[in-house]
Amino acid sequence: MTGGMWLTRDSALAGEQDKRARVTRTRWHFLFILISMAASGAMWGAILLPGYALRESLLPRGAFLSGGTYYGDTLFFTPPIYPALAIGMILGRLLVRLIPAARTALEPELGEDTKITSGLKKFAKSGELALVVALPLCLCGAMSFWVTTPTRIEIRPIFSTTASSYDWSSVREIETGCTRDRTVNYHFFLDLADGIRT
């Protein structure tokens, strides 16, 4: 009878310890996800920086308003997302393992031979391939822009090697407006004589 009571108490204690360990792992998992998302955002911004620099170098002197075209910005901002996520997940794993308590709690999941680790490795390989595809598309999108100067308007469509130049006299209509959500977003459109709207 006494041995049975000790056995019940030991199993209850082991169950309680296992429950606390699972709670601790869950907290470190949340930190792992937060660090990975922050690293992914930083990598996404780092991938976009050369595109911003390229776009700025293509703008003529005296430009006072500029921006990307609709399709250009789609190619500029969207393709780098997947490789940035892949790199961010790998960096998140490395950074979390630098914390001794996190490494102890997550060693079964973030160790050398686990499903999560093998999944991260596959994700990294596909991320490398996505990066090879994403960078040219991102740079191509960065080179598609519109710009206004005191004397003219220039528009460089996507996949075009040159910009089309318009005099201000070719503007048929200027439409302005704003949308209000959490912030106020002001916008304007130029309708040009040949039907282009930017």
Residue 107 has pLDDT above 80, yes or no: no
Pull the structure tokens for residue 20: 């606390």
Q: What is the mean pLDDT of the chain?
A: 77
Which band of pLDDT confidence, cut at 50, 70 and 90, is reported for residue 22?
low
Rounded to two decimals, the pTM is 0.70
Closest alpha carbon to 72 in 152, 163, 146, 175: 146
Span 165-170, average pLDDT: 80
- Per-residue pLDDT, 96: 79
> What is the separation, in whole angstroms, between the first and last Cα of the chain?
86
Name the pLDDT band for 6 (thresholds 50, 70, 90): very low
Q: What is the CA radius of gyration of the chain?
A: 27
- Whether residue 28 contacts residue 107, with contact meaning beta carbons closer than 8 Å, is answered with no
Q: Tell me, what's the pLDDT at 154?
A: 87
pLDDT of residue 142: 92
Q: Which two tokens stand for residue 29?
A: 């998992």
Instruction: Write down the H helix ranges in 59-174.
Output: 70-77, 81-96, 100-110, 115-142
185 pLDDT more than 70: no
C-beta pairs of 60-65 under 8 Å, 24+ apart in sequence: 60/147, 60/149, 60/154, 61/149, 62/149, 62/150, 62/151, 63/147, 63/148, 63/149, 64/148, 64/149, 64/150, 65/147, 65/148
pLDDT tens, 50-87?
999 999 999 888 888 888 888 899 999 999 998 898 88
